[in-house]
Amino acid sequence: DTAVSQTPKYLVTQMGNDKSIKCEQNLGHDTMYWYKQDSKKFLKIMFSYNNKELIINETVPNRFSPKSPDKAHLNLHINSLELGDSAVYFCASSQALRDQETQYFGPGTRLLVL
Amino acid sequence: AQSVTQLGSHVSVSEGALVLLRCNYSSSVPPYLFWYVQYPNQGLQLLLKYTTGATLVKGINGFEAEFKKSETSFHLTKPSAHMSDAAEYFCAVVTGFQKLVFGTGTRLLVSP
């Protein structure tokens, strides 16, 4: 049973295209996140949602639009893809919006923009 | 603003040797600190965390870390390295609203 799952695992696309990454968690958690890991392995938070409400939007270009249809899902849509968007995108979830909560990560989506 | 610094982008040890991965934090309030491990082509997995209470924290796979306020450190140790410990290790601090801020990571290499 996968706790946090992401689809697709790999995504190769051309500059200028629009793509979506889906995330689902079956842990019953209230809070979900998107992180970006660049080619140097640096991890940075992009967004967080709590009970479908946006909590953190970390100065991400507005080409990136998260959507949370319900507490178990947090999708990431990216418009007009650029070369610099190539990275690994991780979804995560935690039980609640408390600082001491553990965040559980998905396996990542490896995006390559050509 | 809270942050963490990981000293050494790569650490090499022999199998059976002590593992020591260094993490120093900067925080104006009592920090919540985490160590995560990332195996190749996988997501991150929590090794251990410090929130409050006992300053020596035991985690999975034989790892432990000690919170030292006087040294603003949260170093990760394991008495005896296994080949399977080879991975990328990330120290992180929470800055509020559960915003995890990660260090730059340390790659642990284990040789036979």
pLDDT for A15-39, tens place per residue?
999 999 999 999 999 999 999 999 9
Q: What is the pLDDT of residue A58?
A: 86
Residues B51-78 have a mean pLDDT of 94
Percent residues over pLDDT 70 in chain B: 100
Distance CA A58, CA A52 (A): 17
- Over range B35-48, report the average pLDDT: 93
* B105/A42 CB distance under 8 A: yes
Backbone dihedral angles phi then psi of residue B27, each to the nearest 5 degrees: -155, 140
For position A98, what pLDDT does the model report? 79
Q: Is A15 helix (H, G, I), strand (E, B) or coil?
A: coil
Mean pLDDT of A31-58: 91
Using a CB-CB cut-off of 8 Å, the residues of chain B touching A90 are: 43-44
- The SS3 call for residue B99 is coil
Please give the average per-residue pLDDT across B32-50, as a whole number.
Answer: 94
Q: Specify the pLDDT at position A100.
A: 81
- CB nearest to A107's CB, from B42, B96, B97: B42
| For A98, nearest residue in chain B (alpha carbons) | B98
* Whether B32 and A41 lie within 8 Å, measured CB to CB: no
pLDDT at A101: 85
Sign of the C-alpha dihedral computed for residues B50, B52, B58 and B60 taken in this order: negative
pLDDT band for position A56 (cuts 50, 70, 90): confident
pLDDT (0 to 100) of residue A49: 92
What pLDDT sits at residue B23?
Answer: 97
HSE, side-chain direction, 13 A CA sphere, residue B26: 8
What percentage of chain B carries pLDDT values higher than 90? 79
Mean pLDDT over B87-109 rounds to 91
DSSP B84: G
Phi, psi of B71, deg, nearest 5: -105, 0
Which chain A residues contact residue B41 at CB under 8 A? 108
Q: DSSP letter string over B17-65?
A: S-EEEEEEEE-SSPPPEEEEEE-TTS-EEEEEEE-SS-SEEE-GGG-EE
